[in-house]
Amino acid sequence: FEATGISPLDPDVILRRFTNISPADQSSRESSVSVLSASDWRKIERLLRVVANGSRTKHTQRLSQTIHSMSVKQQLIQHENEGLREALSIQKRRQKRGKPLPLEQPEEYYGGAVLWTPRKVKKAREQLEQKEHEGEQLQQQKAEAAEQWRSDQQLKARLIQERRVARAEARVAKAKKKADLAENQRVQQARKQLQACIKLFKKSRKQGLKTIKRNKLVMEAAGSSKAGGAAIAYPTSQSQSGRSIKTPSRYK
């Protein structure tokens, strides 16, 4: 099994029998290439054995199988990509071939094959290219118009949003101004009421002092009359509004 490369797994055993490459050529070929592609998995395998000093452990075998699997997958992906590119190229060529040239039929045409001169064919191709170019320009103009419309819509939406925000800010400022005005009016009214109360208090206090002074004079006069033995009638005190002020009994 070892001679056939089955156990341990070594696919290069059979390949070495059919390849006659000297070690010098092999080393020169390997040294001339700095980066190996996925199709060079055999060279990668040999480099792996060189790094591992020829020993085939469980880890080197696992790494070798992983490299081989990744190489196969990479090659399959490359072939698939090449096939897809080729199919796309064929499809594009078919689409390009499918467009007939705008060749004018002769006036007297009774069926059958018609031959055109190279100059007419060239002119028809130029007309077709011109038509395709105009179609591309039209598509580009439509795309630019659509992009401009989207830009205009975005600008319109942004302006609407800015006006909405400005109106909201104006409402807030107006409400604040109204609240400040109401607060100022309330403060001024409270100040006026306080000044009126202070003025009334001073006026009442002044009138009270006058009344006390008048009563004191009356009492002094009454005392002097009583001391002389003569009965003197107490004058009736009146306020500024004309109301009579009664003298307390203890001062009589």
As a whole number, mean pLDDT of residues 95-102 equals 64
- The first and second tokens of residue 63, run together, are 């790494």
196-250 per-position pLDDT tens digit: 888 888 887 777 777 777 777 777 766 665 555 544 445 556 666 666 666 666 6
This prediction has a pTM of: 0.32
Long-range contacts of 128-135 (CB under 8 A, 24+ apart): 128/99, 128/101, 128/102, 131/102
Mean pLDDT of 23-32: 50
Q: How far apart are CA 233 and CA 252, in angstroms?
A: 10
pLDDT at residue number 199: 85
